[in-house]
């Protein structure tokens, strides 16, 4: 049974940085791509970033390119999202999501989410 547990959310001032983690269990973490997807207040789902099963390929949404960095540690079954130069528009619940395959751009499992609030 896929289990994904996000942590690291909180309140942060505009322009500052924050890091999220996602602890994975119940599946072979190193065999799947992983994603971050967010849900901003009053808006729809927005894909944020993905990383391939081995960490060699990363892709980002235009809205976060150059500010966010996705990474993974397969020895720890953990996914990360480092966010910098945060703006109010980054306020959202951030979900960690399991890809459907090694380099898949779709997902089939989600964590409960971690709330990031950017506010002065």
Partner 1 sequence: DIVMTQTPLSLSVTPGQPASISCNSSQSLLHSDGRTYLFWYLQKPGQPPQPLIYQISNRFSGVPDRFSGSGSGTDFTLKISRVESDDVGIYYCMQSKQLPTFGQGTKVEIK
Dihedral angle of Cα 104, 66, 54, 6, to the nearest 10 degrees: -80
Contact 91, 118 (CB under 8 A): yes
List contacts with partner 1 (CB under 8 A): 35, 37, 39, 44-47, 50, 59, 61-62, 95, 100, 104-113
Please, what is the minimum distance in Å from the beta carbon of residue 9 to partner 1? 14
Residue nearer to partner 1 on the CB measure, 31 or 106: 106
Residue nearer to partner 1 on the CB measure, 110 or 117: 110
d(CA 91, CA 18): 12
Residue nearer to partner 1 on the CB measure, 80 or 107: 107
């Amino acid at each position: 049974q896929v289990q994904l547990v996000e942590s690291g959310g909180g309140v942060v001032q505009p322009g500052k940085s924050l890091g999220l983690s996602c602890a994975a269990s119940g599946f072979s973490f190193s065999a799947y791509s992983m994603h971050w997807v967010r849900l901003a207040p009053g808006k729809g789902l927005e894909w944020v970033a993905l990383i391939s099963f081995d960490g060699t390929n990363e892709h980002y949404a235009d809205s976060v390119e150059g500010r966010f960095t996705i990474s993974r540690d397969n020895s720890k079954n953990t996914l990360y999202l480092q966010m910098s130069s945060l703006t109010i528009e980054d306020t959202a619940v951030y979900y960690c999501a399991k890809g459907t395959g090694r380099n898949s751009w779709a997902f089939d499992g989600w964590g409960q989410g971690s709330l990031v609030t950017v506010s002065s």
